Amino acid sequence: MAILLSAAACDSSSTSQAPEEGRLQVVTTTALLADLVQNVGGDLVNVVALVAPGADVHSFQSTPADNVTLSRAALVVSNGGGLDQFLDQVIKGSTSDDVVHILAAEQLLDLDENDPHFWQNPVFTVKYAEGIRDGLIEADPENSAGYQANFDSYNDRLTKLDFDIASTLNTVGPDRRLLITFHDAFGHFGARYGWEVTALVGSDASQVSPGPVVAILERVREQGVPAVFAEPQFNSGLLQKAAEEAGIEVGPIYSDVQNGEIASYIDMMLFNAKSLARLLR
């Protein structure tokens, strides 16, 4: 079920709600992309995310209501890099001939063919915002000045976010800067802030067997790292059980926005940094 984001806040309205007149209709594949669009589009846009906050994009299945939502869109924003490619056929078959369809990560795809979670690096997220700004201007050139102004403001916030994350993570000693996660979505985060990252499953969230879990937790135990991390939308029962047996805590981490306290990209990134610092320093 698609999720409508108002200009004021993230909202769980369904696609049955009519789009507000006078605003550019934008559809994104994920809730995180919807948040980025909302920050750059501001009061000029209505944004709908096909994959609801907290849902797993890797297992998402579209509905007829999503087709209706896409048919209303002037702009569609996908991530690219294989993350949401399975939705391309639905998007192509449901949108109008004059729709603008962009890949938010297009400027970054040549950097890494295996990990499409580029937004885990706020510097890369600026590139997302640039692509979104350009897509909004292409779809709605009359409001180009507004989109540029919103982008400039959000760019400043992303720059501050990068500084705040680095400052928080610097409270963790170098010997404990090891991020062990269930889902391989944090490589770009680790590269940005100088952390070693190890995951139990691939970036497509495929299944994991007990062997790698035991081997990784043995390494964690040897290094004295007190915690590993898992996202709530994935079934990490195997990790939870193995960690408990090893006396290692499983902490929360997020790769997409949620309802509640993790309702925006900036909230999510700050939460992750604070979670790592709290459990590893």
The DSSP result for 133-196, as a single string, is HHHHHHH-GGGHHHHHHHHHHHHHHHHHHHHHHHHHHTTS-GGG-EEEEEES--HHHHHHHT-E
pLDDT value at residue 10:
40
Residues 91 and 144 in one domain: yes
Residue ranges making up the domain that contains 268: 170-280
Distance CA 103, CA 105 (A): 5
The domain boundary, picked from 116, 144, 165, lies at 165
Q: Tell me the per-residue pLDDT of 131-167, one tens digit each, with 9 for 90 and over.
A: 999 999 999 999 999 999 999 999 999 999 999 999 9
> For the chain, what is the mean pLDDT?
88
Select from 213, 170, 165, 206 the least CA-distant residue to 189. Answer: 165
Q: Is it the case that residue 1 has pLDDT exceeding 80?
A: no
Residues 17 and 69 in one domain: yes
Residues 275 and 204 in one domain: yes
The domain boundary, picked from 121, 139, 165, lies at 165
Average pLDDT over residues 206-231: 77
pLDDT value at residue 241:
79
Average pLDDT over residues 43-49: 98
Residues 192 and 225 in one domain: yes
pLDDT value at residue 3:
46
Q: Tell me the per-residue pLDDT of 90-106, one tens digit each, with 9 for 90 and over.
A: 999 999 999 999 999 99
Residues 105 and 140 in one domain: yes
Residues 15 and 137 in one domain: yes
Q: How many domains does the chain have?
A: 2
Residues 37 and 97 in one domain: yes
CATH number of the domain where residue 107 is located: 3.40.50.1980
Q: Tell me the per-residue pLDDT of 236-250, one tens digit each, with 9 for 90 and over.
A: 677 787 788 888 899
The domain boundary, picked from 165, 194, 215, lies at 165
Residues 144 and 7 in one domain: yes
Residue 89's pLDDT band (boundaries 50, 70, 90)? very high
pLDDT value at residue 244:
82
Residues 186 and 210 in one domain: yes
Average pLDDT over residues 110-136: 97
pLDDT value at residue 60:
86
Single-letter amino acid code for the residue at 27: V
Residues 191 and 254 in one domain: yes
Residues 142 and 68 in one domain: yes
Residues 123 and 225 in one domain: no
